[in-house]
Amino acid sequence: MAKLSAEKTGKKSRKEKRRLLWLSVKKNKACYAMIAPFMIFFVIFTVVPVIMSLPMGFTDFNMAQAPKFIGLSNYTTLFLSDRIFVKSIRVTIVFALFTGPVSYILCFLLAWLINELHPKLKTVFTLIFYAPSMANVYTVWQLIFSGDMNGYINSFLINLGLINAPIQWLTDANYVLGVTIVVQLWISLGAGFLALRAGFQNIDRSMYEAGAIEGIKTRWQELIYIVIPSMGPQLMFAAVMQIVSSFTAGTVAQNLVGFPSTDYRAHTIMTHAYDYGWVRYEMGYSAAICMILFIVMYILNKLISRVLSKYMD
Amino acid sequence: MQTAVNIDKIKGSNRQAGKKIGGTVAIFIFLAVLGLFMVLPIYLTVVMSIKPVEELFIFPPKLYAIRPTLNNFSDMFDALNSNRVPFSRYVFNSIAVTVSVTVLQSIFASMAAFVLAKCKFPGSKLINSIIVVALLYQSNVIYIMQYIVMAKLGLIDNPLALVLPSIASPMGLFLMRQSIGQIPDAMIEAAKVDGAGLFRICWQIVMPNQKPALMTLVIFAFQAAWNIQTGTLVFQEQYKTLPTVVTQAASAGLARAGVAMAAAVFMLVPPIVVFMLAQRQVIETMAHSGIKD
């Protein structure tokens, strides 16, 4: 409706346009009423803080004094003289490349396979794969990867005779990133996975019926011709969640391999932002770091939504 | 119900039934093996929570407790009870925060998502894109600005500070919007012709079909709300929530690993219960979803 009236206004005067806009606002007042409760809280607690934070990347802000405008200086420092930032870019890319696609495919594959099982088993398996993202069990991972003989992995490998001295999983520069990736993958079957499970559950059964009549025989064909085309919105949701969790990961590394990690080997961009924000109280600099990360994620999001657009309605 | 039976018949007769059962068994075995790896750390958490201290550091580490004990749990509760405020107060606070956040978030996000997915009105496109931007934009500075906003509103040291900021979750809205978008427009138009208002269409026609997404939202909301830490928002002991005090009780490094494990197990139980209840609803939806385009 709004679209139609907007087209009409193309030729008319500005005053007329404003009047028609107001009319269509008035006509849709039920819509605004429905959206209002959400929007009030969303604007106060998310939109306003986000807008307030946008210019911080151009300031020198230590949280004690008022922010001071310093132009692009934070950004030039970041790229020209902050060697650890450059290193953290590399770590983040490696980390995101390993965790992002693998976990995205795992989410989809597992959600699909679970869907093929008996309803009782569905609940159990969904819980098993989702539980890690509910649990807060860094301590147990510390004990599993513990650097002494009491660590589960070390004692297992020593018993097998594969190694004769314990490996320092959490402090050896060669292993910290690998260990972090493993644990991140373990907790990564989260929101995206569950949304995909819900999506599978919502596929109309008559679709399978129609497919069977039209000669779809194997599960594989069902997946390609029925399931994926009707899962576009959930695939998009899972992709956004995946981008966020792969690129903004930092807490796993901080809890597991310490902060800062050995030789900055598990130092992601988000960890770097944390370092400057909450350890050194250089919030302006930290905001600049986050802004760069956001731009990268936004571009990636646009690319993915273009790929998935043919499955969207 | 009738159609469901028919479909199973068609599925069975059109395919080589035996081959399909074989495939299902293979899927089950694959998932079971992978699932074993997934639950291992959680299993170990549970085991360690019932191990006595001296068993935590023996070589080789055991995958079970030789002399299981509930000492870690009683230690944790002792630590919690030694505060000035009775333990039940924290439980009450946590339940109050979790229930109000979960209920309000689900209702508000569902209504907003329905309108954003199915109605075009001035501003709807802008709001849709702001939601995704809000999801992607993560910055330390937001927390500071949020704190400033809350201070201006006089919410600091007020229990409402734990509830209000979590009510509007862009993730919940995005999830619901994606899912509601799949409902055929014809269904909503038909209801409009029948004279139903938007509110009624949302709750009587759309939402009953959206149980999987709605229940998934409930799981997310509950989980997030259950883990809300009081942090710097609330200082009075009587307003603190369970995750805050449980973390305090468990934070003393590896020496208190047992208590930390007990705390993790204790905090994990309610989300799992809610998960099971909600997930059952998700799976039941399959049998009677009657959307036809």
- A16 and A161 in a single domain? The answer is no
- A110 and A231 in a single domain? The answer is yes
Residue A39 has pLDDT above 80, yes or no: yes
Q: Is residue A201 less than 8 Å (CB to CB) from chain B?
A: yes
- A158 and A17 in a single domain? The answer is no
In a domain, A62, yes or no: no
Mean pLDDT of B55-78: 79
- A47 and A78 in a single domain? The answer is no
Contacts of A136 in chain B (CB under 8 A): 227, 264, 267-268
Backbone angles phi, psi at A185, to 5 degrees: -60, -35
Total of domains in chain A? 2
To which H or E segment does residue B88 belong? helix B87-118
- A47 and A79 in a single domain? The answer is no
Residue B13 has pLDDT above 60, yes or no: no
Closest CA to B249 of B83, B102, B49, B50: B83
Residue B49 has pLDDT above 50, yes or no: yes
pLDDT at B275: 92
For residue A230, name the pLDDT band (cuts at 50, 70, 90): confident
Closest CA to B222 of B160, B148, B276, B157: B276
- A33 and A139 in a single domain? The answer is no
pLDDT at B104: 95
Residue B156 has pLDDT above 80, yes or no: yes
Share of chain B above pLDDT 90, in %: 19
The CATH number of residue A277's host domain is 1.10.3720.10
Share of chain A above pLDDT 90, in %: 13
- A36 and A149 in a single domain? The answer is no
- A116 and A225 in a single domain? The answer is yes
Residue B9 has pLDDT above 80, yes or no: no
Which of A34, A44, A113 comes nearest B31 by C-beta?
A: A113
pLDDT at B272: 92
- DSSP per position, B176-190: HHHHHTTS-HHHHHH
Residue A11 has pLDDT above 70, yes or no: no
Structure tokens that stand for A241 in this block: 């969640």
Residue of B nearest to A144 (CA): B41
In a domain, A68, yes or no: no
Mean pLDDT of A90-103: 90
Residue A166 has pLDDT above 60, yes or no: yes
Residue A182 has pLDDT above 60, yes or no: yes
pLDDT at A204: 75
Q: Which amino acid is at A68?
A: K
Which of B140, B179, B283 comes nearest A286 by C-beta?
A: B140
Do residue A117 and residue B108 have CB atoms under 8 angstroms apart? no
- A29 and A154 in a single domain? The answer is no
Residue B288 has pLDDT above 60, yes or no: no
Mutation test of the interface with chain A: which of B13, B19, B137, B206, choosing the one with the most A Cβ atoms within 10 A? Answer: B137
Selection from A142-156, A187-201, B71-85 with the highest mean pLDDT: A187-201
- A124 and A34 in a single domain? The answer is no
In a domain, A61, yes or no: no
- A138 and A169 in a single domain? The answer is yes
Residue A176 has pLDDT above 80, yes or no: yes
Residue B254 has pLDDT above 80, yes or no: no
Q: How many CA atoms lie within 13 A of B68 on its CB side?
A: 8
The SS3 assignment for B243 reads: helix
Contacts of B38 in chain A (CB under 8 A): 128-129, 131-132, 186, 189
- A123 and A215 in a single domain? The answer is yes
In a domain, A210, yes or no: yes
pLDDT at A41: 93
In a domain, A67, yes or no: no
Residue B108 has pLDDT above 90, yes or no: yes
Contacts of B198 in chain A (CB under 8 A): 30-31, 34
In a domain, A133, yes or no: yes
Q: Is residue A73 less than 8 Å (CB to CB) from chain B?
A: no
B202-249 pLDDT, tens digit per residue, is 888 888 888 889 999 999 999 989 988 887 788 888 888 888 888 777
Could you tell me the residue range of the domain that residue A303 belongs to?
Answer: 74-311
Other CB atoms within a 10 A radius of the CB of residue A164 amount to 7
In a domain, A180, yes or no: yes
pLDDT at B287: 44
Contacts of A199 in chain B (CB under 8 A): 179, 212
In a domain, A66, yes or no: no
